[in-house]
Structure 1
Amino acid sequence: MLFDKIAKGVIYFGGIATIISVVAILVFVFWEALPLWFGAEGKEKDKVEVKQILQSRKPLLIGVDEYQEILYVVTDSATIDFINLSTKQLVQSSYIDSTSEGAITSASKSPTKNLIALGTENGKVLFGQVKFSVSFVEENKREVKPEFTLLSSILIDSLKKPLRNLVFRKNSGEDFTIIALTSDNRLIQFSSEKTFSLLSESEEKIYKNDLSKLVEYPISTIELDNFCEKLMVGTVNGWLYYISLKDKGNPQLIQKINPTPSGRSAITALGFIIGDQSVIVGDSDGNVTSWMRVIDEKSDYGWKLVNPHKFESHNAKVTSVASSLRNKSFITGDSEGKIFLEHLTSERTLIELSGKELPVKDIAFSPKGDGAVVLYEDGTIVSFEIKNPHPEITLKTLFGKVWYEGYSKPEFVWQSTGGTDDFEPKFSLIPLIIGTLKGTFYAMLFAVPLALFGALYTSQFSHPKIRNYIKPTVEVMAALPSVVIGFLAGLWLAPLLERILPGVFLMFITVPITITIGASLWKRIPSRIRYKLKPGFELFFIIPLIIFGYYLAQWLGPLFEYYLLGGDYRTWLMNTLNEQYDQRNSIVVGFAMGFAVIPIIFTICEDALSSVPSSLTSASLALGATKWETATRIVLPSASPGIFSAVMIGFGRAVGETM
């Protein structure tokens, strides 16, 4: 009695512990996934009145280091001023001697590398680079030291007209491109490319082109990607020009479109998203859209711009666009001081940042994507702290079609990782769900008939000696790890099936035919010989027939492929069904997962069939029914609950192991 009570207590404790463990796992998974549904957060961190610090110098644009400690301000007095955001003190000021160049009329910064360019009233461009060096003077005390280096000055406009807008990009090495807009609406391209010989001797090629002939209307804004290949030009009456600079010596107008809803609103802000595939377009009515190029066979150049995403309207002139260097997020500001943090892929506005109700002049997104600095028209600078861990997760991105960069239309795609931050994560669960169900379907289609009929044969027809060998052998198969099955399927089975696929499909014809012929021949064997064999030993007659059917199918496979499939089944699939053969396909999954599921279904089915009372089978045989009729009409229906349980348990493993 004591041992019974102890055993009972252990069983109860084990059951309760199992339930608690399962619930704890579910809670843990839920807790880990919960942050995916938290929205972005943003709050004001610091405010700097630069008038008091810079005095008469007027800010043109701003930037910030990755720790959001040091702010740099480019002014119209040709200075780069560095301000500590926390102490609001001027740390350092770098002066560019532009006396001989004339007054500063425009400024530009690069989203990466902190490249700065200043346009002058005499048609010259001064450009340099801001660098931040980080050191630790004491334990846990960081010191950020800013530095500005003037790289060069170049005469862009031979007519020496003031430059009212410009962009400066440096793609790799020493190559760079400057696009300048003069006061008389001329668009000038200046590109420098350096090539190096085997002896490390460099040769610089200069390309200078007047792009005004490609643009018909007055220009309002310009933007260039970081590869110095895609130039976007916006006009005052709403036209957007896509000019290719891939061949620096021969710029080409690829497309001219009107992206504004009204068709007349001026394009006031442009900005490329990280990866330089999508460009954000803001207009004077506050509309914000994204445009990207896709392959178009009808176009003369093979590309065209499409509009995959539209965002919440500002209802005021969009004045600035700043892109994150970590993901597909970007910030837009307007003439009324509204600042929206938005995300490209999810096509939604994450938060609205509240600063001042004044026109936004410039925005700097922190390199880590965890903050932003905004310059207002009156010279006030406000920094924001941003928490935006999972902007790409929405119900639409998980379960709906999304138009991803480079795709010709919205699609369901799962591709969670990439080589760089330029990559656009694709989190659609639909391919995973459909792929799991498809793999499970083929696995069950392969496993259920084999396991069920194998169990029926073993329990009702085979000799006990044979059963004692078959059942343990099949059960041992259940111990084979799914990882090993997947390894063999991917590296051995998949290439093998690709070579013999026509023969594999012919097996479904040749094997039943050979077994049928073998069965008819078995009946023609004299009774005195057949009855000498113990029941169930006909298995050793059937196995060679199955092997013969397999080799017959493989022998006929090449002939079948040559005469009926045009010599290559892959080409036939593409030409007839417009389907490309993938080496690791659902057939491979079905075979591999089928072998993983067969032992479970077979074992439970065999137990269920063997548990049918012998009185039922004896009564059926006594009434004149054959063994086959007894098995199919008495045993199978009686064991159907156990068979259903076996199929469901096998289905559960197939679903869980398909990945």
Structure 2
Amino acid sequence: MSESSFTGRERRKTTRFRVRAADIISRFVITVGGIGTIVAVSLVFFSLLAVVAPLFRSATVNEPTSASLPAADPAKLLRVTLDEYRTMGWSLSSDGRLVVFRLDNGKPIREQTLFDGRKITAASFLIDEPAVAVGFDDGSARFGVIRFKESYFERRDVPETLRELPTGESAEWNEGVVRRTPQGQFRVVQVSAEFGEPLKLADGAIERLDHIPPDMGETALSTSDYQVACYAAGGQLKAGTLAAQVNDFTGETTFEVNLRDLPLTDGPRQAPSSTPLRVMLTAGGDNVFAVWDDGHLIRYDIRNLSSAYVVEHVELLGGENDVRKLTACQLILGRETLAVGDSLGEVSAWFRVRHSLDVAGDSFALTRVHTLPPGPAAVTSFAASQRSRMLATGYGDGSLRVFHVTTEKPLLETSLDGDKPIELVGIAPKDDGLFAVEDGQLWQAEFDPGYPEATFASLFTPVWYEGYERPEHVWQSSFATSAPEMKLGLWPLIFGTLKATFYTMLFGAPLALLAAIYTSEFVHSRTRAKIKPVVEIMASLPSVVLGFMAALIFAPIVEDIVPAVLSSFATVPLCFLLGANLWQTLPRNVLLRLQPYRLWFLCIPLLIGLRLAFWCGPWVESWFFAGDLRRWLDDRSVGTGVGAWMLTMLPLSAVAVTALVLTVVNPALRQRADGFSRGQFAWVNAGKFLLGVAATFLLAYTVSWLLTAV
């Protein structure tokens, strides 16, 4: 018997090195990729945490410095102000002496006697403007500005002795302070003072004075109306305007005094006989506050000056039986919130609140809204920030505190070297420094307030903001000016995200699933080959791009045609249904010839539906929305635009969801060979898919959408 021959292939008992190497490399790449993905996501979390964490850090203050103020008598000091770079300052005394001094050593640079040496009996200074008003014992007042002026020079334009000045160092030049900037320029800061002619306001000496100048722009003195309130000796409380009149030939500006007496008695109620502690004008000059040291406040409505009246009497302290005295009061930034401090160190903030019942003549009542932590001694001085709702408070024992009024958050507590009362306290223009005057010494320090507007309470609990009837959750982080309060309530954003996600999935998920079923089970393969790349490109568009499209393209369009857009939700589907039914009535031979072009024919009812929407829009607005859809939405002609944004973003979000869901769902839906092998129809396959893969994917996608949005 012949020996059998082996005609097959000998089986290897070991794996080839190339296969094992590929397996090792693949395992390494997959492991590194998975770990890298986890690390990358974790780094995103930590980077976001690094951005958010500074919001909750505490305020800090550097080691303070002190210098002697060049003032004759601190008791006569009316005002001390620093420039925004904290290189120099000026002080104004009651004898009219203006002193410009360096901040680093207190050395006087220039002294000037204003008003011919007349004694100032009352003065008015603004928080965020250089306007100044001073009153005298003959009943007259002068209005003007004391401001810092900045000039920049190149190296060749300054004296040789200053050309080698180190960066950040200061020196005196041209009655100002020069400092070299990091860019190599020389910045010179000087002080200028300019006042108009005296204007007669009252018969007696001006004892209290407040004013609101018009927007002065770049000019030193305004040529528009001033709003003024004053209290003169003899019990004369006056308010009104100084109307500017410009001579067309000479260009000279004169002012016509138009003041009216305000009553100090209101039926059985009568104001204290003493001189008020302060007389203040609110923003817009519509109200006057007259405040006495016993805590009594009278609020006047002067919108119609000829019929000004007492709106209400308010007890800022406990009333007649309260032994406390009001020692300081000031309107903070915005001139709507009144901060008051008493002899026991308690500080509170008040502003007008609208009431449903007309408790006062103008439906508003001055209400205590914020109560700040009490201090160790009597409040002696207030200073409001020029940029935020911070309030610096000086006390009788030489201590100084800084609060954020809106959040009631204490930011800083420190004490000066001595234990004498603080005469004046201030916050630097950029909120980066603090200064105080104690017994002729100017104390100043670098200050970093952090982000006092952001606290856990302001983010997640209702906050009582100016102009609101009650504490509310509000988000409004940007404004045209620095006067309004920053509102950082997160609940509107959270619920807005939930609403946007819900409505997006409500519209987008059915559309995406129906589109996936149609393209997978019913559409022709050639048509599917054309649609799939377009859908994948749509799914690749980032949400940021869609947001820009909504803001720059769709929002301006939708804003003007909101009634037509709302009408299109009814007219376009009706036209599609009508067109589909008309298509079915065509003869069979015509249908067969037109079958490849049926999608193009669908554009006809689309255009007809859009045209009907534009035609019906004005009628719908007139019939259902009283002719003004915007006013019907929130009873305001001008609002936040949240509804319009929702109407704009909803279609784009639905398109984004539709494209992404269709891209993921369609391949899974195409894997249906096992169902067809058992004789199942396309609808049966689609139904099983909806109960399985699609439901799981939509749930996961909704959760990821929420997490991404938050």
One fold, TM greater than 0.5?
yes
Q: Does 1:269 align with 2:328?
A: yes
Describe the superposition over 1:8-60 as per-residue Cα deviations: whole angstroms up to 9, x where unpaired.
6555555444444433333233222222111222355123455xx65667442
For residues 246 and 542 of structure 2, the distance between their equivalents in structure 1, rounded to whole angstroms, comes to: 55
CA 1:450 to 1:647, structure 2 compared with 1: closer, same or farther past 3 Å?
farther
Contact 1:436 1:655 in 2 (8 A): no
Q: Which has the higher contact order (CA 8 A, sep 6+)?
A: 1
Which residue of 1 is the match for residue 170 of structure 2?
Answer: 142
CA 1:572 to 1:538, structure 2 compared with 1: closer, same or farther past 3 Å?
farther
Give the SS at the match of 1:567.
helix
For residues 428 and 98 of structure 2, the distance between their equivalents in structure 1, rounded to whole angstroms, comes to: 18
Q: Does 1:446 align with 2:446?
A: no
Which residue of 1 is the match for residue 662 of structure 2?
Answer: 602
For residues 531 and 201 of structure 2, the distance between their equivalents in structure 1, rounded to whole angstroms, comes to: 89
The alignment's TM-score, normalised by the length of structure 1, stands at 0.80
Which residue of 2 is the match for residue 353 of structure 1?
Answer: 414
For residues 500 and 157 of structure 1, the distance between their equivalents in structure 2, rounded to whole angstroms, comes to: 60
Contact 2:539 2:663 in 1 (8 A): no
For residues 555 and 142 of structure 2, the distance between their equivalents in structure 1, rounded to whole angstroms, comes to: 58
Which residue of 1 is the match for residue 65 of structure 2?
Answer: 46
For residues 506 and 295 of structure 1, the distance between their equivalents in structure 2, rounded to whole angstroms, comes to: 44
For residue 436 of structure 2, the aligned residue among 374, 385, 410 is: 374
Superposed counterparts of 1:175-190, under 5 Å: 175-176=225-226, 179-189=229-239
Which residue of 2 is the match for residue 255 of structure 1?
Answer: 311
For residue 338 of structure 2, the aligned residue among 279, 286, 297 is: 279
Q: Does 1:502 align with 2:561?
A: no
Which residue of 2 is the match for residue 649 of structure 1?
Answer: 701
Which residue of 2 is the match for residue 611 of structure 1?
Answer: 671
CA 1:627 to 1:94, structure 2 compared with 1: closer, same or farther past 3 Å?
closer
Which residue of 2 is the match for residue 151 of structure 1?
Answer: 195
CA 1:182 to 1:591, structure 2 compared with 1: closer, same or farther past 3 Å?
closer
CA 1:57 to 1:655, structure 2 compared with 1: closer, same or farther past 3 Å?
closer
For residues 632 and 79 of structure 2, the distance between their equivalents in structure 1, rounded to whole angstroms, comes to: 59
Which residue of 2 is the match for residue 593 of structure 1?
Answer: 653
For residues 336 and 630 of structure 1, the distance between their equivalents in structure 2, rounded to whole angstroms, comes to: 83
Greater Cα shift, 301-310 or 591-600: 301-310
Describe the superposition over 1:531-557 as per-residue Cα deviations: whole angstroms up to 9, x where unpaired.
x989xx999879968975995797599
C-alpha RMSD over aligned residues: 4.4
Which residue of 1 is the match for residue 256 of structure 2?
Answer: 205
For residues 451 and 303 of structure 1, the distance between their equivalents in structure 2, rounded to whole angstroms, comes to: 53
Which residue of 2 is the match for residue 234 of structure 1?
Answer: 291
Give the SS at the match of 1:93.
strand
Q: Which amino acid aligns with 1:601?
A: V
- Please state how far the C-alpha of 1:611 moved relative to its aligned partner: 2.4
Greater Cα shift, 297-306 or 327-336: 297-306
Describe the superposition over 1:132-155 as per-residue Cα deviations: whole angstroms up to 9, x where unpaired.
445674443434455464635747
CA 1:17 to 1:635, structure 2 compared with 1: closer, same or farther past 3 Å?
closer
Which residue of 1 is the match for residue 90 of structure 2?
Answer: 72
- Please state how far the C-alpha of 1:325 moved relative to its aligned partner: 0.9
Which residue of 1 is the match for residue 242 of structure 2?
Answer: 192
Contact 2:564 2:617 in 1 (8 A): no
Greater Cα shift, 143-152 or 59-68: 143-152
- Please state how far the C-alpha of 1:204 moved relative to its aligned partner: 2.5
Which residue of 2 is the match for residue 166 of structure 1?
Answer: 209
- Please state how far the C-alpha of 1:189 moved relative to its aligned partner: 4.9
Greater Cα shift, 313-322 or 446-455: 313-322
For residues 155 and 76 of structure 1, the distance between their equivalents in structure 2, rounded to whole angstroms, comes to: 19
Q: Which runs of 5+ in 2 are unaligned?
A: 1-17, 154-161, 178-189, 217-221
Describe the superposition over 1:425-471 as per-residue Cα deviations: whole angstroms up to 9, x where unpaired.
22222222222222222221122112212222333444544444443
Which residue of 1 is the match for residue 183 of structure 2?
Answer: none
For residue 29 of structure 1, the aligned residue among 13, 33, 48 is: 48
For residues 635 and 279 of structure 2, the distance between their equivalents in structure 1, rounded to whole angstroms, comes to: 43
Q: Which amino acid aligns with 2:245?
A: T
Give the SS at the match of 1:39.
coil
Give the SS at the match of 1:326.
coil
Q: Which amino acid aligns with 2:437?
A: L
Contact 2:146 2:191 in 1 (8 A): yes
For residue 683 of structure 2, the aligned residue among 624, 628, 632 is: 628
The alignment's TM-score, normalised by the length of structure 2, stands at 0.75
- Please state how far the C-alpha of 1:392 moved relative to its aligned partner: 0.9
- Please state how far the C-alpha of 1:417 moved relative to its aligned partner: 1.8
Give the SS at the match of 2:410.
strand
Contact 1:234 1:268 in 2 (8 A): no
Q: Percent identity?
A: 24
Greater Cα shift, 18-27 or 269-278: 18-27
For residues 286 and 654 of structure 1, the distance between their equivalents in structure 2, rounded to whole angstroms, comes to: 48
Contact 1:364 1:374 in 2 (8 A): yes
Q: Which amino acid aligns with 1:595?
A: V
Q: Which amino acid aligns with 2:112?
A: S
Q: Which runs of 5+ in 1 are unaligned?
A: none
Describe the superposition over 1:470-506 as per-residue Cα deviations: whole angstroms up to 9, x where unpaired.
4344333324454255355324466555314234136
Give the SS at the match of 1:94.
strand
Report the count of equivalent residues: 634
Which residue of 2 is the match for residue 429 of structure 1?
Answer: 490
Q: Does 1:217 align with 2:276?
A: no
CA 1:285 to 1:214, structure 2 compared with 1: closer, same or farther past 3 Å?
farther
For residue 458 of structure 1, the aligned residue among 493, 496, 519 is: 519
- Please state how far the C-alpha of 1:514 moved relative to its aligned partner: 7.7
CA 1:224 to 1:371, structure 2 compared with 1: closer, same or farther past 3 Å?
farther
Contact 1:360 1:374 in 2 (8 A): yes
Q: Which amino acid aligns with 2:113?
A: Y
For residue 89 of structure 1, the aligned residue among 107, 115, 128 is: 107
Contact 2:567 2:616 in 1 (8 A): no
